[in-house]
Chains A and B, each alone.
Chain A
């Protein structure tokens, strides 16, 4: 059975950094890109970036590329998304999704002073 487990909700102040984890089991971690998708409250889905766990290559959405780092640790089958310089409009649920087929449960990040 495939499982994709994300870390818990975070509350951060503006300007802070958050790092979310996403651990997979039940499929070969290096076989699939790991995407990260943002969903602001009451809004649709927005792709923010990906990592290829096989070689660590990353791609990011243009509007966020200066503040985001996505990594993959093949020793623990875990992907990470770090977002720096948090702003109130970063408040959202962030999902990791293996090849868009295997989704985590989402992590709520709240940015508020």
Chain B
């Protein structure tokens, strides 16, 4: 199974400041068709997860453009350009290239300093 490793696991950020979360996979997530199936999710306390980014860098409908995804191969990054209060919660990366199983990172908890 592909292991997804996120860092940091906890990220205190001041409002209006940028934030960055790293996600590494135990093997390349590049698929033979040229796609890379790496997603990012956000889960607020007591809520269901919400997908933010699919295939590395594509924002889902309604996701603010302060969120961006990048990376390739085994190294990926989610960036928030200016953190807002509503951005608190846990962020997960997930791979969908080598399935089953689809595998998630451990989660990164973002909180406001």
Q: Report A's interface with B, CB cutoff 8 A.
A: 35, 37, 44-47, 50, 59-62, 95, 97, 100-101, 103-106
Contact = CB atoms under 8 A, between A and B. Distances in A.
A44 B104 contact: yes
24 contacts: A35-B102, A37-B49, A44-B90, A44-B104, A45-B41, A45-B49, A45-B92, A45-B107, A47-B101, A47-B103, A47-B104, A50-B100, A59-B100, A61-B100, A95-B48, A97-B49, A100-B39, A100-B51, A100-B54, A100-B102, A101-B51, A101-B60, A105-B48, A106-B48
A48 B94 CA distance: 14
A105 B47 CA distance: 7
Contacts of B101: 47, 61-62
A28 B7 CA distance: 37
B20 interface: no
Interface residues of B, number: 22
Contacts of B102: 35, 47, 100
A44 B107 contact: yes
A103 B106 contact: no
For B48, B54, B96, which residue has the most chain A Cβ atoms within 10 angstroms?
B48
A13 B85 CA distance: 41
Contacts of B92: 44-45
